[in-house]
Amino acid sequence: MPRRGNDRNAAHGPTSSTAPSGGSLPLERQLAVQYAIARAFAEAESIDDVGDLLLHTLADAFGWQSASLWVLDDDGRSLRAAAVEPRTGRLRAWTEHTLSLRFPIGTGLPGRVWQSGEAAWIRDTDSDENFVRRDAARAAGLRHGFGFPIRNRGAVAAVVELFAADVRELDAPQSEFLAAVGHQLGSFIERVEARGAVALSETRKAGILAAAVDAIVSADAQGRILEFNAAAEALFGRTRAEVLGRTVSEVLVPDDLQRAHLAGLERYVATGEARIIGRRVRTWGLHADGSRLPVELTVTEIRVAGLPMFTAFVRDIRHEREAETARDRFLEILSHELRTPVTAIYGGTKVLGRRNLAPAQRQELIDDIGEEADRLYRLVEDLIVLARAERGALDISLEPVRLERVVERVLASFRARSAALEFRLAVDGFAPPVKADETYVEQLLRNLLSNAVKYGAGGGVVEVRIEHSDTESSVRVLDRGVGIDPAETARLFEIDYRSPMSEVLAYGSGIGLFVSRWLVRAMGGRIWAEVRPGGGSEFGFALAVVDVDAATHELRASPETRPLLPLDRPGGSAAGAS
């Protein structure tokens, strides 16, 4: 039974025996109190949420004037009052004093109950000189103290301390009731800790997922996506909210691989036969823009309620694959495609050495040698970029570049050697300078125009449009040729992709568009390919402008500035553009 004692050395005993009494409650009142406490536990998220209500209910039901809930402090060695009732009125000073205290385990009424694991009571605090809070209790008019432990998994997790204004005797029914409350509170604390552990685990998992360099995608046995981290969002171009609940095959697998993916999933779920689980596999993913992504993935599996849950760690290997392909293409061009212009130049110079060569033949040979030399020059330029791409770096220095001047210069060279085609230029108003490397802009334009000449010559006209906004200027190369397949626009700039149409219509290195994309990205811009309404193709790029206001002022003030013709102005150089 609880033993009599003081604040330093309170008496202890099993809580199932008697406790000081303010009078036993009728059964229906006990049930109502238990219901109120149980409801508070069910709705609370933490012990702090339920503490005040628990103490108020106990004090009100049994006539205790003060009640407090003691828990372990952050230092792990002392106890603090997590809640005290009442907080106002004549006991306010007592409450504030209680909240300010820290009792080492084994000291004070709460510390003694915590250490012993048993209930303890102090019959009369006023006459007990060893009760360390006697003066504060006397000032508050409190005479009697009682404490009982709250257990969680067999250990004390909290202590409830009660004080009354009158000296009380023992009451077994009340003691049993408080023991039941202690059991309830102990179960509640266990649930709170379990929820806290789950929440901590989820927080740690979220932190790991967010910080992971690799994309992480989790899915259930039906292939529905359960988790999609920030790296996966960046890799696949889709948000977490967009993909959760949808199937992996629907949003992340290219069309030509979906059947194999679904068959493998069904086979594994049905038979347990694994072909990629635990292995490092290289395959293709699907970006939100429809392009294919070379990826390396490792799939792990855990069982939840007997069903598999899969987690794929996906690594972007675009740069690795491009570097490998760039190295292969570099060697291929060195061993094969360089021979054609070199052979033509070598053979032409040999023929030019003949003394009896007719003037017309001589001029034709000189023109051919010049054309092949230009082709060789452009091929070497692309090879240099390809070599840098293989190393994964491209040194570049950005400075203001006037796009229309570069375009005019490049167009002049194309007009000179492609007399059968008409090249038109249209500039939309004042085009501010862009942040770029002029040499690379020229190389980029030559590649896009060469592409238009090869595949768009059937229309007879190649049009270049320069347009600008507050943040960027764009160059669009337009033709009315055979056009492109809408399904392949996202792949045309890949180094290992060549349109089936290009294999039939023209011969070349096949690296021009890849080099163009690399150059644009190195200058911080963007590049695109589109099907042109009415037939033909559009290839374009955009670069960031230099400070717009300063650049516009410079353009208007410069004596070299000439009026720029708006698009399709009647009578201008763009007139008749289609």
Q: Are residues 20 and 136 in the same domain?
A: yes
pLDDT at 208: 54
**Backbone dihedral angles phi then psi of residue 438, each to the nearest 5 degrees:** -60, -35
**Is residue 95 located within the same domain as residue 113?**
yes
Share of the chain above pLDDT 90, in %: 16
Structure confidence by residue, pLDDT tens digits, 336-351: 666 777 787 888 888 8
Lowest mean pLDDT, pick from 207-221, 250-264, 273-287: 207-221
Mean local confidence (pLDDT), 42-64: 71
Q: Are strands 399-401 and 103-104 parallel, antiparallel or unpaired?
A: unpaired
Query: Which span out of 109-118, 242-251, 298-307, 495-504 was modeled with the highest average pLDDT?
Result: 242-251
On whether residue 567 sits in a domain, the answer given is: no
pLDDT value of position 575 = 34
Per-residue pLDDT at 110 exceeds 70: yes
Residue 571 lies in a domain: no
> Computed over its alpha carbons, how large is the radius of gyration of the chain?
41
**Alpha helices (H) in 333-394, listed in sequence order:** 339-352, 359-391
- pLDDT at 461 > cutoff 80: yes
Question: How confident is the model at residue 437, as a pLDDT?
Answer: 87
Q: For residues 144 and 479, give the distance between their C-alpha atoms in angstroms, rounded to a whole number.
A: 98
Dist. CA 527–CA 521, nearest whole Å:
8
Q: Report pLDDT for 19.
A: 42
Whether residue 275 lies inside any domain: the answer is yes
> Strands 292-304 and 280-286: what pairing?
antiparallel
Position 506 pLDDT exceeds 60: no
Strands 422-427 and 280-286, by their bridges, are: unpaired
DSSP string, 158-179: EEEEEEESS---EEHHHHHHHH
Give pLDDT, residue 305.
62
Top-ranked range on mean pLDDT: pick from 95-109, 444-458, 553-567 = 95-109
323 has pLDDT over 80: no
From CA 215, how far away is CA 252, in angstroms rounded?
Answer: 12
Do 523 and 382 share a domain, yes or no?
no
DSSP letters, 456-472, are HGGGSEEEEEEEE-SSE
Instruction: Quote the pLDDT of residue 528.
Output: 93
Query: pLDDT higher for 37 or 10?
Result: 37
Higher-confidence residue of 37 and 514: namely 514
The sign one gets for the Cα dihedral 44, 46, 51, 54 is: positive
Considering the domain architecture, whether residues 350 and 231 belong to the same structural domain is answered as: no
- Which strands make up the sheet holding 307-316, listed edge to edge? 225-228, 215-219, 307-316, 292-304, 280-286
Q: How many of the other CB atoms lie within 10 Å of CB of 24?
A: 14
Is residue 204 one of the residues assigned to a domain? no
pLDDT tens digits, one per residue of 274-293: 777 878 888 999 999 888 88
CATH assignment of the domain containing 433: 3.30.565.10
What pLDDT is stored for residue 388 in this prediction?
Answer: 67
- Considering the domain architecture, whether residues 140 and 218 belong to the same structural domain is answered as no
DSSP string, 389-432: HHHT------EEE-HHHHHHHHHHHHHHH-TTSEEEEEE-S---
Q: At 201, is the secondary structure helix, strand, or coil? A: helix
Q: Residue 418: left (phi > 0), alpha (psi -120 to 50), or beta?
A: beta
CA separation for the pair 466, 476 (Å, rounded): 7
381: tokens are 């330029």
* Antiparallel, parallel or unpaired: β 170-171 and 19-20: antiparallel
Measured distance CA(574)–CA(578) in Å, rounded: 9
Q: Is the pLDDT of residue 377 over 90?
A: no
pLDDT score at 405 = 92
Q: Looking at the structure, tell me whether residues 266 and 326 fall in a common domain.
A: no
Name the domain boundary from 265, 290, 316: 316
Q: Which residue has the higher pLDDT, 48 or 441?
A: 441
388-426 per-position pLDDT tens digit: 655 655 567 889 999 999 999 999 988 888 878 899 999
- At residue 502 the predicted structure's pLDDT band, cuts being 50, 70 and 90, is low
Residues 442 and 549 in one domain: yes
Q: Which of 390, 422, 452 is the last residue of a domain?
A: 390
More confident: 448 or 481: 448
List C-alpha distances in Å: 188 to 152, 181, 184, 216, 270. Answer: 9, 10, 6, 35, 41
Structure tokens at 532: 């042109």
CATH number at residue 346: 1.10.287
Quote the pLDDT of residue 14: 36
- Which tops the pLDDT comparison, 491 or 201? 491
Residue 242 has pLDDT above 90, yes or no: yes
Helix (H/G/I), strand (E/B), else coil: 540 = strand
Spatial separation of the C-alpha atoms in residues 174 and 33, rounded to whole Å? 12
What confidence category does residue 252 fall into, taking pLDDT thresholds of 50, 70 and 90? very high
The tally of domains found in the chain comes to 4
Q: How high is the mean pLDDT of the chain?
A: 77
Q: Specify the CATH number for the domain of residue 228.
A: 3.30.450.20
Task: Out of 65-79, 96-110, 296-310, 557-571, pick the least confident.
Answer: 557-571
For 20, 132, 526, 576, the CA distances from 430, given in Å and listed in that order, are: 93, 88, 21, 21
Q: Which two tokens stand for residue 477?
A: 């190369």
Residues 184 and 74 in one domain: yes
Residue 90 pLDDT more than 60? yes
Tell me if residue 560 falls in helix, strand or coil.
coil
Q: How large is the greatest C-alpha to C-alpha distance in the chain, in angstroms?
A: 138
Q: What is the pLDDT of residues 533-577, one digit of tens each?
A: 888 899 999 999 987 555 455 545 544 443 333 333 333 333 333
Length of the chain: 578
For residues 451 and 550, membership in a common domain is answered with: yes
Q: Of 144, 148, 146, 147, nearest to 164 (Cα)?
A: 144
- More confident position, 7 or 433: 433
* Residue 390, CA distances (Å) to 176, 268, 282, 322, 518 in order: 79, 39, 20, 7, 11
pLDDT higher for 555 or 510?
Answer: 510
Report the C-alpha gap between 159 and 14 in whole angstroms.
14
Domain co-membership, 187 together with 260:
no
pTM score over 0.85? no
Q: Decide: helix, strand or coil at residue 237.
A: coil
Q: What pLDDT score does 7 carry?
A: 56
**What is the C-alpha to C-alpha distance for residues 512 and 371, in angstroms, rounded to an integer?**
18
Q: Which residue has the higher pLDDT, 466 or 6?
A: 466
- Cα–Cα distances (Å) from 124 to 15, 106, 401, in that order, read 19, 20, 93
Decide if pLDDT at 236 tops 70.
yes
How remote is the C-alpha of 344 from its chain's centroid?
54
Q: Using one digit for the tens of pLDDT, what is the confidence trace for 11-42?
A: 444 333 334 444 555 655 666 666 566 666 66
287 touches 253 (CB < 8 A):
no
Res. 464: pLDDT tops 90 = yes
Determine, yes or no, domain membership for 136: yes
**Does residue 224 belong to any structural domain of this protein?**
yes
Q: Which residue has the higher pLDDT, 368 or 383?
A: 368
**Residues 33 and 142 grouped into a single domain:** yes
Asked, for residue 172, whether it belongs to a domain, the answer is yes
Range of the domain at 242: 212-316
* CA–CA distance, 414 with 421 (Å, rounded to integer): 9
Strands 307-316 and 399-401: unpaired
Rounded to whole angstroms, the Cα distance separating 344 from 339 reads 8
**CATH number of residue 28's parent domain:** 3.30.450.40
pLDDT above 60 (res 373): yes
Residue 155: how many CA atoms within 13 Å on its side-chain side? 5
Three-state DSSP state, 22: coil
Residue 503, both tokens: 């294999």
User: Is 565 inside a domain boundary?
Assistant: no
* pLDDT for residue 496: 63
Q: Are residues 310 and 258 in the same domain?
A: yes
Give CA–CA dist 451/498, Å, rounded: 12
pLDDT at 48: 63
pLDDT at 391: 62
Q: Within 13 A of 392's CA, how many CA atoms are on the CB side?
A: 7
Among residues 313, 283, 310, the alpha carbon closest in space to that of 298 is found at 313
